[in-house]
Each structure stands twice: as structure tokens, then as C-alpha cells.
Amino acid sequence: MKLYSWFILLVCIIPCKYGISGEVRMKIVEGGEPKAVIILGERPTWLERHAAEELARYIQAISEASLPIASCDKWRGTGREQTVILIGRPETHTFVARLTEEGKVKLSADYPGLDGFIIKTLPQTLVLGGSTDPGTLYAVYYLLENFCHVGFFQDGEHIPRRSTITLGEIDVAERPYFEIRQYLQACAFGYTTSYWEWGDWKRELDWMAKQYLNTMMVDWGHPEWRRIADYARKLGIKTILPGAGLGEVSEEFMREHPNVRYVKMQWIEAKPYFVIHPSDPIFVERGVETIRRNIRTYGTDHIYNVDPYAEQTVFLPPEEVRRMRIDFARATAAYIKEADPQGIWYASGWALLAPPWPEETAKAFLEAIPEDMFYICDIWADENPIYRKYHYFYGRDWGFGVLHSFGGDDTMRG
């Protein structure tokens, strides 16, 4: 069983090695003049170039000095004492590869691993590299935050002002605690982001990268959804696609398909409606069609959100409701896997909370889903945890959620 971090709970990084000496070993900026050059690999990835541009942008904001950016195949030293800042991985950067081969730097896909990164000083050299592309970007943000004292806050940034930037000895290797570091949830973007423009989304996505977050829900109805999703994926942030939902159907569909098994449902006091019972074969057929259509429209990061009848009244006897929920688990897992063999089902634990499920129903529901394709998030775990009631979701992967604002609850939390 894994515990995943969730939403804005940012316990993402664990230090492996960390050291700073008081001796200044290298100059980045002196008296407002650049004393370093940023060097990328011969064919840097988009994210490596973005990391270099971000470092240069913040150094200039701090000191007004503009650090040049060059590729290692075109850079030819100045003959003067100059700090070189290497940004990249051994697979993309000849200089970084050479340092790893010589044993001066330890960096690979396995070390630190996941989206981990290293920051290491050598004589007149600073290495910023990750086990993955996002890890390389995280290295830059970590350096800026912890050694240049930039503050990355959600409501704005703190940029210190100084004309000289120097670094002592640094030897940092860090990796995330959690593979999935997820942010946003349907309530969050449903109540807020429909009013956002592209600039608002871009600031939020950049902030997410600075907090090492790598998975998010998106308002796919937003007019800028393609731009949002494309930029998120460039930053290494996976987007969650909607699944086929509850199988809601129109009256016209019911007239055209009289032999399908339907169930009456109602959300709070809204008008009742009908869904296809998940035991009916057409439930899976429609699910496959929906997932494939969403993939064609939005692309995919292979994660699909389907919540099992959250806040719904089901007009069936209790034992029939129990069987329907278990059928829903099996059928939803089946249509996701058929539509996308790499597909992962993400569900909100809110469904088990409102209305509360009997423990035996929750256990049977969760155990009906293959372990390797599912995770569930207890999205209000800070105040109303259900992971305890449901025995840590009976061994399924799950996330601890903090819900900051929903349904009129707008209390600020630290």
C-alpha cells in the first residue's frame, strides 16, 4: 500500500545529502555584472531549456545581471575565471555525462530516482540535474529558493535584491516522498477557475512546478483547455481526464433502447434522472466509447476520474445498491482497461463519505478493482478522514487530501 500526497499538502521532498561550507567557492554575479554562464547540452529538451531560462530570469530579477545561455558544443570558455552552470542529465548533456563517468557527480534515472535532483558544486562549476526532466527544473527552483532566498508563494513571489550572488560548497541530492503529487479537485476548479484567463492558469501551473506537484485535474470545459493541458504536460504535470461518469442517459435514449437496465437516481433535491445499471453490457460499451473520444479530443496521461455515485440517492433496496456499487467497480475498471491498456482509475473518496457507505460495501467495492490500475483520494482527510473508517482503503493506493475551500467553507489554513 502506498500513501500519496494530495492537493496542497506539499510534503514532497526528502533530503539525502546536504552540506554548505562557509567558504565562497564561486561567483554567480558580482557588482551587478555576470560572472557565470549557463551551459545546456547539445540537444536540450524543452524543459531543460525552460529550466535554464528560469534560472537566468530570476538571477536577473535579483541582481539585474543577465547570465548568458550556451550549449556545450558551442561554448568555448572566455579564458578568464568564470563559473559554469551545467543544467541537464547525463543522457542530454556531454559535460554532465563526463562528470558522472569520472565519478565527480552521481546522477542517473535511478539516483536520486523518481523526479529527484542533485545540486553540486565543483571547482568553478555548478551542476543542476535531475533523474528526469522535471527533476532538473526542480533543481533550479530549489537552488533559487534555498540558496538565493527567492520565495515562491501562491499569492505572489518574494525576490530579494542584491548586486552580488555567491555560492559556498553545495552537495544536495533529493527525491520526492511520493510518486503522485496531485493538486486541484473538482470542487476547487468548479468554484473558482471558470473565471480564470490563460494568464491565471499559467501562474498556477508555474507555481505547481515550483512546489514539485506533478498531477492535476483540469476544467476541460474551459475555453483555453488545450493551452492549459499542453503547458502542464510540458512542465511534467499529468492531467486527469474524465471517465464515462455514472452512465446517465436521456429520455430519448431510453425510448430507443427499451431493453437496457436503468436505475433512477437523484442528486440532493434536483430533478431525478436515470443511469444505465453497470451490470448491463452497454455500460461498458459506452464507457469505452467515452474514454476513446476523450483521448482523441484531449490527449491522455492515462489517468481517468470516475466517482461512484457521490452525493446521489439510488432508488433501489439497500442490498441492490450494494450490488450495484460492486458492479460499478468491475465495469468501470473493465472499460478503462479496454479503452486504454495503460489506464489508471482515480476516484474521489467523497463518494464513500456522502452518503456514507457501509464498511462491507466499501471493502467489496475496492477489492473488485485490480490493484495496479487504481488509487483513491480521501479529499477531506484533514477534517473528516474516512481512511480510518475504511481501514486505509483495504490496501489500495490512496492519497491524503486537504480541502481548503468548498461549499461556503473558505477558512484560511496554514
Regarding beta strands 33-34 and 20-30, do their DSSP bridges make them parallel or antiparallel, or are they unpaired?
Answer: antiparallel
Task: For residue 174, give the C-alpha cell.
Answer: 533529493
Question: b/e for 373-407, b at 16 or more Cβ within 10 A?
Answer: bbbbbbbbbbeeebbeebeebeebbbbbbbbeebe
Q: What is the mean pLDDT of each run of 10 residues along the chain (414 residues)?
A: 38 34 74 96 96 98 97 76 93 96 97 97 96 98 97 93 96 95 79 85 96 93 92 97 90 95 94 96 96 95 95 95 97 97 96 92 97 94 93 95 70 56
Cell 571547482 maps to which residue? 123
What is the reported pLDDT for 21?
Answer: 39
What is the reported pLDDT for 325?
Answer: 97
Q: Are 260 and 282 contacting, i.e. CB atoms less than 8 angstroms apart?
A: yes
Neighbours of 295 (CB within 10 A): 16
Max CA separation in the chain (angstroms): 83
What is the reported pLDDT for 279?
Answer: 97
Give the single-character DSSP code of 10.
-
The pLDDT tens digits for 28-64 are: 999 999 999 999 999 999 999 999 999 999 999 999 9
What is the reported pLDDT for 16?
Answer: 36
Q: How far apart are CA 41 and CA 396, in angstroms?
A: 41
Q: Are 116 and 30 contacting, i.e. CB atoms less than 8 angstroms apart?
A: no
CA torsion sign for 91, 144, 64, 61 is positive
What is the reported pLDDT for 246?
Answer: 87
pTM for this model (two decimals): 0.89
What is the reported pLDDT for 96?
Answer: 97
Cell 500513501 maps to which residue? 3
